[in-house]
Amino acid sequence: MPKIGSHVSFSDKGLLNAAEEAVSYGSSTFMIYTGAPQNTRRKPIEEQYIEEGKAVMDKHAMNEIVVHAPYIINLGSYKDDTFELAVRFLQEEIRRTDYIGVRNIVLHPGAYTDKDADYGIERIADGLNEVLAGVKDTNVNIALETMAGKGTEIGRSFEEIAEIMERVEFNNKLTVCMDTCHIHDAGYDIVNDLDGVLHHFDRTIGLEKLGVIHLNDSKNPRGASKDRHAPLGSGWIGFEAMNNIANHEKLQHLPMILETPWIGKEDKTQRPMYEAEIALLSGNLSGRFGGEFLDQVERIDFLMNKKDIHYRDFVLKTWELLKNDAKAKKADGREPLERLYDMLHEERLFADLSEEQINQRLIVWLAGNDILKKA
């Protein structure tokens, strides 16, 4: 059984809030930031309800969670003040992570901005050496995240990650976070050749170095270098490929974290699809949602068959239209899930259900008929 959860909020009551939110989605793991990811303001970690959160985790058998480092850390910067801030702040975050008892802190390696990739790789390795030299007394690994390749970010290939790791003296304290959207957008074919991609990773870095998986579908075709996450099944990767990753024998021992976007017509109505996504990947649909839910998904399937709409064809054709036809995008920029929701709303198929509930059922429909047969 894979360990699947989502990014959750570390808000007023810190780890307690995070653990309770994760439980509400049916998670077996989760990921947190120990404060706002966009700034350096932090409450003392001792005041973040750590023991209370751990009690909830123990009750629900969540024995391995993940911390994500703030986005403002850039070890690739040529600016001394930015680099020095990154080193000091990452050390602080590692100590906070260690206090919680978490093994892996995920880090975006960094961006070289006005320099070049060689400079960025060297600079990031120097920064990691400095960071790790100052936190040798902790039990935390830095999990370097694979990146999509947008802008000047480093980590867009397994080779770049390997080059960084080879230059770090304390590389026994380095692991890797593999993000499915990122490696897809970077050009790796996880849809048709997952085993080949894993073999490439093993030759280049070593599968034993994998510490975390980020499970995200993608709004862009393979190789787009864009990094735009989509709910499972509603993007170019698709549910079948995501399910293969989550349940792969070489990966399912790892904590797997959903960072899929919240969806809804308006900001105030947007909700995450984590509960449905976790139930799908865990094979627990009927146990989590019950027979009436599944009957309603079958009603969606019946309607779509009448309209001659196939779930994957619809998703891919919509993205192709939005990618290739600027006029069509300007006239109707709705993404696949939004179009499907509007279709059900027009049919008044589930007038008594909320937008969130309808979207949950659409997420399950996008997983395909085989999932329903097994539920």
Q: Which residues are annotated binding-site positions for Zn(2+)?
A: 68, 108, 145, 179, 182, 214, 227, 229, 259
Q: Identify which of 294, 373, 307, 295 has the alpha carbon closest to the alpha carbon of residue 340.
A: 307
Left (φ > 0), alpha (ψ -120 to 50) or beta: where does 178 sit? Answer: beta
Question: Residue 229 pairs with which residues in a beta bridge?
Answer: 218
Tokens of 225: 């270098």
b/e 103-140 (16+ beta carbons within 10 angstroms → b) = bbbbbbbbbbbeeebeebbbbbbebbbbbbeebeebeb
The Cα 154–Cα 148 span in angstroms is 9
The Cα 232–Cα 366 span in angstroms is 8
Cα dihedral sign, 213-219-221-223 = negative
Residue 230 backbone phi and psi in degrees, to 5: -135, 150
Q: Identify which of 72, 55, 47, 69 has the alpha carbon closest to the alpha carbon of residue 19.
A: 55
Give CA angle at 243 (237, 244), nearest 5°: 90
- Kindly compute the dihedral angle of the four CA atoms of residues 207, 3, 156, 104, in this order, to the nearest 10 degrees: -80
The Cα 106–Cα 133 span in angstroms is 18
Helix (H, G, I), strand (E, B) or coil at 122: helix
The Cα 132–Cα 123 span in angstroms is 14
Contacts of 3 (CB under 8 A, 6+ apart): 28, 29, 64, 252, 253, 254, 255, 256
Give CA angle at 150 (144, 154), nearest 5°: 35
